[in-house]
Amino acid sequence: MTAPAPVIEISDVWKLHKLGDEVVKALMAAELTVMPGEFVCLMGPSGSGKSTLLNIIGGLDRPTKGTVRVAGKDTAALTESQFAALRHDTVGFIFQSYNLIPFLSAVENVELPLMFEPYDRAALRRRAIELLELVGLGHRIDHQPTKMSGGEQQRTAIARSLISNPTLVLADEPTANLDHRTGETVVRMLRDLCSTMGVTVVASTHDPTVADEASRVVRMKDGQIVN
């Protein structure tokens, strides 16, 4: 039986920023392999390189040097449009600040990544409602974000991240703006994506609650992976 291929392969990845005459090393010689269905937690204090690494994996930023492979594709060989297509088809994003459109309802926010694609509108609406029901918000489909709690907004963001049936979900500080109990609920949902749907999840955090539920913790400090 053939072993599954990694979803993410990071090899000797660096990210350097020039600030005047100074070079800031945001990421140094990063090495990371993530397999299908893993829930990997990038753990470390602010400035440790977690978000930088997450952004590079998701194509929101490019490394200064090194190799990044996502779903078997060398991202350095992709044009911007090809990388955008890879993100669209393969990667779902969950942001710390939710990034919901305030004048759209929950179900419209979930539909948004595919709203301008040639999908059957009724089928898209059914899929969005199914995802909101999956995260326990079937009763809130018509509510706008301003009428929802922080936890409900983050669960809406989780549903939105799944609308394209991604193989990989990237979550940047998913519990940062939530109270402890709500944060635990969100983290369990991320864990269940891996165990029941086979989605691979990589989350950056300094929250030990996330680390407790993850299948693997990758610790970072001063731009380096230290374990």
The predicted-structure confidence for 22-66, as pLDDT tens digits, reads as follows 888 999 999 999 999 999 999 998 889 999 999 999 988 999 999
The answer to whether residue 15 scores a pLDDT higher than 90 is yes
The answer to whether residue 209 scores a pLDDT higher than 90 is no
Q: Give tens-digit pLDDT for 171-194.
A: 998 888 888 888 899 888 899 888
Average pLDDT score over the chain:
91
Q: 104 pLDDT band (50/70/90 cuts)?
A: very high
The answer to whether residue 1 scores a pLDDT higher than 70 is no
The answer to whether residue 224 scores a pLDDT higher than 70 is yes
Q: So what's the pLDDT on residue 197?
A: 86
Placement of tokens 């891996």 in the chain: 194
Which residues sit opposite 215 in a β-bridge?
none
Closest CA to 10 of 225, 226, 227: 225
Q: So what's the pLDDT on residue 32?
A: 96
Pure H helices in 35-179? 50-57, 80-90, 106-111, 121-134, 150-161
The answer to whether residue 9 scores a pLDDT higher than 90 is yes
The answer to whether residue 84 scores a pLDDT higher than 70 is yes
The answer to whether residue 3 scores a pLDDT higher than 80 is no
The answer to whether residue 139 scores a pLDDT higher than 80 is yes
The answer to whether residue 2 scores a pLDDT higher than 80 is no
The answer to whether residue 120 scores a pLDDT higher than 70 is yes
CATH class name, domain 34-62+76-224: alpha beta
Percent of the chain with pLDDT over 90: 63
The answer to whether residue 125 scores a pLDDT higher than 70 is yes
Which residues 6+ apart lie within 8 Å of 66 measured at CB?
10, 11, 12, 13, 14, 29, 30
79 vs 86: CA distance, rounded Å = 10
Q: So what's the pLDDT on residue 196?
A: 86
